[in-house]
Amino acid sequence: MLEVKKLSKSFDNYKALDDLTFTINKGQIMGLIGQNGAGKTTTFRLILNFLQADQGEILWNGHRLSPKEYNIIGYLPEERGLYPRVTVQDQLIYFARLRGKTKKEILPKIDDWMDKFQVKGKKTDKVKTLSKGNQQKIQLIATLIHEPELVILDEPFSGLDPVNVELLKNGIIELKEKGSCVIFSSHNMDNVEKICDHLVMLNNGVCVLKGNVQAIRESFGRTKIFLEAGLSKDEVDKIPGVISTIEQDTGFLEITLDDPEVGKAIFKKATAEGYIPMFNQQPPTLEEIFKRKAGDQHE
């Protein structure tokens, strides 16, 4: 279990992180989200002991991480760092040895990891011969091959196509199922929403949202309706409590409400003549909440 307690960090007169507290239990994935400069990377660097906190503490299973215990961490930085003229195999062995593993332990695992992430290339290839996406997969394998108990991923999906994003997401979920604590940042709220148990949202170094992903969404109320019925956009717009109606290319209406209770009036009107293909009332997406909370801080 990772515990971050009342963590703060300033650089000269700039407060990069202010009184941050969160916990990640064994077998959980936590998303750390926020705009650029919100404090995400500073948080990672404090956990990794690259920076010293002004106040607060970071505990692993109830105690401070010792130098030896840093070998249980896997860290994928946003700025990738591979040796282009070194082979994939030698590179993975080198990084694993930095984490206390031997060549004998790691060598048999390389083929399995490359198959898992569908790396196009051989382990004897030099990294520079691989595509950018495959190099990123090798970087992630280097982060995970020593089977860390705590995994920190800074923008792991950046630059990957949807197929490869799905492969990496499955790899992260597999780590969770094996009991690892996983914390990652991403600007793609859809990825966060799909794989995270909990999230922490930072804005200017301050935590503005924290908790279970679905519970956070529900706390904003079910103010979105997706409707496919015989009602026109103009008819819906006239219903009291409707903020906006967008007619999508696929034919359904996306309706935003000022109060979830308005959904009852829309449902009653839409079903007045019986069956309708779709009525789906949902809380706002994580992306919408993110934009709202980020905007609040600038008003």
Q: Which CATH superfamily is domain 2-216 in?
A: P-loop containing nucleotide triphosphate hydrolases (3.40.50.300)
pLDDT of residue 298: 44
Q: What is the pTM of this model?
A: 0.83
Per residue in 150-170, pLDDT (tens digit) is 999 988 887 788 888 888 888
Q: How many residues does the chain have?
A: 299
pLDDT of 282 above 90: yes
Helices (H), the chain: 40-47, 88-98, 103-106, 110-116, 132-144, 162-177, 189-195, 213-219, 233-237, 262-270, 286-296
Is 3.30.70 the CATH classification of the domain at 221-282? yes
Burial of 250 (0-12, 13-18, 19+ CB in 10 A): exposed
What's the mean per-residue pLDDT of the chain? 90
2-216 and 221-282, same CATH topology: no
CA distance 211 to 24: 11
pLDDT of residue 299: 41
Number of helical H runs and strand E runs in the chain: 11, 14
Q: Which two tokens stand for residue 24?
A: 């990640």
Check: CB of residue 167 under 8 Å from CB of residue 117: yes
pLDDT of residue 295: 66
Region 202-229: what's the mean pLDDT?
A: 93
Per residue in 19-58, pLDDT (tens digit) is 999 999 999 999 999 888 889 999 999 999 999 999 999 9
pLDDT of residue 151: 92
Type of residue found at 208: V
CA distance 213 to 215: 6
Per residue in 83-97, pLDDT (tens digit) is 889 999 999 999 999
pLDDT of 259 above 60: yes
The structural domains of the chain, with segments of one domain joined by +, span 2-216, 221-282
Pairing of strands 55-60, 2-11: antiparallel
